[in-house]
Amino acid sequence: MQDYDTTLKYLSDKFPKHFVELIFDGFEGEVTPLDKELPTNKRQSDYLVEVKNRCSDCDTSKFILHIEFQSSHDVDMPQRMLAYYARIVDKHKLPVYPVVVYLNPANNNLNIPDEYVNSIYDKDIMRFKYKVLKLWEIDPSRIIDNALYGLFPIIPLTNHESTSDEDCLETCFDLVQNVNIDDGTLKSDMFVCTGILAGLRYPKELVKSLMKVEIMQESVIYQDIINEGIKKGRVEGMEKGKEEGMEKGKEEGMEDSIISVLFTRFEYVSANLVDMIHHIKNRSRLNELLKLAVTSKSLSEFEQKLRSA
């Protein structure tokens, strides 16, 4: 599963109503998360909630909001959305409002369809429409002014006009760190999510320079990454030193964390690369490598930067 996909599913599970407000500006009503597993196909949707309007003028008082998150254009998206639609209606027996949220402004010049059309002999057999939302066209003030803090991690992907990359990201990370919620772990998770999503748009080195390891280590998402990496398999030499002093133990714990992140993201880490990481004893350098493991686009990019340092 893509990192951005995991990130957005986490955020939408934690803040389901904020994502409804992303689609329906000024929404007032109730939101009930639904089981995302659909009949026939075990593939889960990204976001699925039951929405109840409090608006007396609305033509539909109850419906299902379905959102799929896309980092890049998929030519099969219309067929996929149609298939989702049919399975959701089949399972929940309610009207469905389908949305595709595109994350990466690299798609800006592409012709992104918002419908599926089946025509035979010049006759429209079916015309199925869905909403396309491009985050790079969203004004971030809409999120900030309405205190939709569950959406703060997506702000790096919104429209910042002439703001420099560095100023933009510093502002985004500050917003997340200063969000007015008491749950420190959730704030750490949001911080990690911000970094992962920012990597879709901004230079990896810039994102890495703003990621704070001490915050990352308090994040449940980060710990899940570590645990998943451990489950997928360890290699010889990964066990932490137990009798060689506290500092050495901390260093080896950091080495294990780096390798576990790489295992989780890329599913394979060569014995040679593991050995290179275990030979690094500089704690500052290990901190840099941990951030690099989270933000690198590929294992080869990580290895190349490790070797060039």
Does residue 217 form part of some domain?
no
What's the total number of domains in the chain? 3
User: Do 128 and 231 fall within a single domain?
Assistant: no
- In the predicted model, is pLDDT for residue 253 greater than 70? no
Domain boundary residue, one of 137, 160, 176 = 137
Given a contact cutoff of 8 angstroms between Cβ atoms, the answer to whether 180 and 258 are in contact is no
Given a contact cutoff of 8 angstroms between Cβ atoms, the answer to whether 112 and 123 are in contact is no
Q: Of residues 61 and 210, which shows the higher confidence score?
A: 210
Give whole-number Cα distances, 190 to 48, 52, 290, in Å. 21, 27, 18
- Residue 147: pLDDT band (50, 70, 90) is very high
- Convert the pLDDT of each residue in 202-213 to its tens digit: 988 898 888 888
User: Do 49 and 129 fall within a single domain?
Assistant: yes
User: Do 29 and 129 fall within a single domain?
Assistant: yes
Does residue 86 form part of some domain?
yes
Q: What is 70-139 written as a DSSP string?
A: ESS--TTHHHHHHHHHHHHHHHH-S-EEEEEEE--GGGTTS----EEEEEETTEEEEEEE-EEEEGGGS-
User: Do 21 and 114 fall within a single domain?
Assistant: yes
pLDDT on residue 228: 62
User: Do 20 and 115 fall within a single domain?
Assistant: yes
User: Do 299 and 267 fall within a single domain?
Assistant: yes
Domain boundary residue, one of 116, 137, 158 = 137
User: What are the beta bridge partners of residue 51?
Assistant: 31, 63
Domain boundary residue, one of 165, 190, 211 = 211
User: Do 52 and 75 fall within a single domain?
Assistant: yes
- Residue 39: pLDDT band (50, 70, 90) is low
Does residue 204 form part of some domain?
yes
Tell me the whole-structure pTM to 2 decimals.
Answer: 0.69
Radius of gyration of the chain (CA): 22
User: Do 45 and 171 fall within a single domain?
Assistant: no
Name the residue range of residue 195's domain.
139-211
User: Do 55 and 143 fall within a single domain?
Assistant: no
User: Do 10 and 132 fall within a single domain?
Assistant: yes
Does residue 216 form part of some domain?
no
pLDDT on residue 270: 78
- Residue 2, SS3 per DSSP: coil
User: Do 98 and 151 fall within a single domain?
Assistant: no
Does residue 274 form part of some domain?
yes
